[in-house]
Amino acid sequence: MDGDQTNDVWGVVDMVPDTNFPDIRHKAVIHSTNGSLMSIPRENDKVRLYVQLSEKDVVDPGTGRVSKATSSPEKILEVTRKTLHPFYISPLSGVEWWTMYLIGQRVASRFSVEDRVFIAGDACHTHSPKAGQGMNASMNDTHNLAWKLVQVLRGWAYPSILRTYESERRKYAIALIDFDKRISALFSGKPRTSDNEDGVSHQEFLRAMETASGFACGTSVHYGPSVIINAKHQYCAENLVVGQRMLPQVFVHAADARPVDIHDLLPADMRFKILIFLGSMEEESRVVEINALADELSSPTGLLRKYSMGGRSSSPMFDLITIVAGKKEKFNYLRVPMVFRPHWSKVLLDDTDITGRKGGGAYKRFGISSKSVTFVIVRPDGYVGMVAPAAAMGDVHKYFASFLLPRHWVSRL
């Protein structure tokens, strides 16, 4: 693995605190001249404290190495108290768990060999453990790999799709570690004061922490172009960035006006989801256009039958979700052509729910026109793979043909 170990040493304690620090139930970062401290509220009144230590507290004088044997929770709490001054803090009934660590920031040069051996998680990247980045990055590694493996093993996709595992996840690991270095430097730097005008300002720190949460929860991940990421028609849904996670958005079911978040309709079930933004169906010319598209889609050479079993007009490889720009009080979902509504729950309206507090405004927010049909193709892991206008159906065919096998080539496993 390529990379370094930083000089920062951190202690960690889990405990139920007795304290007069008013933000103890918030996630809090204290940046003091004594060092930094991060406090994270946990279950059952517990908090986890990450406490920056100095080397002298933890280096074993015999070996010159950092060792848990040379430290103790009491030592960590002593530093905590200084950093948190003038507030007091003590364990209410002892320290429940503790550890200490140095931060190694390294990334493996390869994540896979011959599309047959794959490594994930700590095996290919290490960095600061704060905020669960390790866990989150690892789960996203294996989630990214799993659906590709399944599609290949089922005979749906060409094995070449597996190459995108390394290209997507290694790029992310490098970005995460770059960011981790920058934020570690902020933590280790002294705060800006009148005596130290070059120090780290509060605003600078806050901005970095906000970016950090995008890394930790995965919303900042942006995969580059590949067989499964095609941004050619980005203009038709400007704010659904191809290569990023599908944005959360509440719609209402056309049939019963109940609200649903689009992510609840995008389970990790190994299928590509094709969101079909039909636009408004108020004008007759639009209905004609939509009916023609329905005929095209379900024709023998249409997208659905191409990847279906036995010539059916639905495919086990896709899930279709139809989103109409219409009002729940007026719109009759039976007007949507059958091919676009495999089930009543798959037809959504871009409207608020009956409380008026949820849903609505998605066309505008996503930058999608309500006067034409737009496809948003969401990968099995929830990332936007392609957006395209219905007029560019040829490109949609090409997109899928670049990694999916037509169904008449394969039999069910």
Residues lying near its own copies in the complex (CB under 8 A): 20, 22, 24-26, 41, 45, 253, 255-257, 332-334, 344, 357
Tell the smallest beta-carbon distance from residue 332 to its own copies (Å): 5
What 8-state DSSP symbol labels residue 248? P
Task: Note whether 84 and 21 are within 8 A (CB).
Answer: yes
Where helices occur in 341-404 by DSSP H, the ranges are: 362-366, 393-401
Tell the smallest beta-carbon distance from residue 334 to its own copies (Å): 6
Tell the smallest beta-carbon distance from residue 39 to its own copies (Å): 12
**Cα-flanking dihedrals φ and ψ of residue 266, to 5°?**
-120, 55
Q: Which residues of 121-154 are buried (b: 16+ CB within 10 A; e: fewer)?
A: beebbbbbbbbebbeebbebbebbbbbbbebbee
**Cα-flanking dihedrals φ and ψ of residue 284, to 5°?**
-60, -35
Given the complex with its own copies, which of 253 and 379 has the nearer CB atom? 253
Given the complex with its own copies, which of 21 and 101 has the nearer CB atom? 21
Cα 246 from chain centre? 9
Tell the smallest beta-carbon distance from residue 263 to its own copies (Å): 17
Given the complex with its own copies, which of 42 and 68 has the nearer CB atom? 42
What 8-state DSSP symbol labels residue 191? B
Given the complex with its own copies, which of 21 and 158 has the nearer CB atom? 21
CA nearest to 369, candidates 325, 314, 318: 325
Task: Note whether 112 and 166 are within 8 A (CB).
Answer: yes
Given the complex with its own copies, which of 27 and 106 has the nearer CB atom? 27
Dihedral angle computed from the Cα positions of residues 212, 215, 218 and 222, in that order, rounded to the nearest 10 degrees: 130
What 8-state DSSP symbol labels residue 247? P
Peptide linkage before 86 cis (omega within 30 of 0): yes
CA nearest to 50, candidates 71, 80, 22, 74: 80
Tell the smallest beta-carbon distance from residue 359 to its own copies (Å): 12
Where helices occur in 248-313 by DSSP H, the ranges are: 284-298, 303-306
Tell the smallest beta-carbon distance from residue 164 to its own copies (Å): 35
Given the complex with its own copies, which of 252 and 323 has the nearer CB atom? 252
Given the complex with its own copies, which of 227 and 250 has the nearer CB atom? 250
Tell the smallest beta-carbon distance from residue 27 to its own copies (Å): 9
Given the complex with its own copies, which of 22 and 311 has the nearer CB atom? 22
Tell the smallest beta-carbon distance from residue 40 to its own copies (Å): 11
Given the complex with its own copies, which of 146 and 257 has the nearer CB atom? 257
Tell the smallest beta-carbon distance from residue 45 to its own copies (Å): 8
Task: Note whether 276 and 296 are within 8 A (CB).
Answer: no
Please give the biggest Cα pair distance in the chain.
Answer: 85
Task: Note whether 401 and 146 are within 8 A (CB).
Answer: no
For CA atoms 293, 295, 301, 305, the dihedral sign is positive
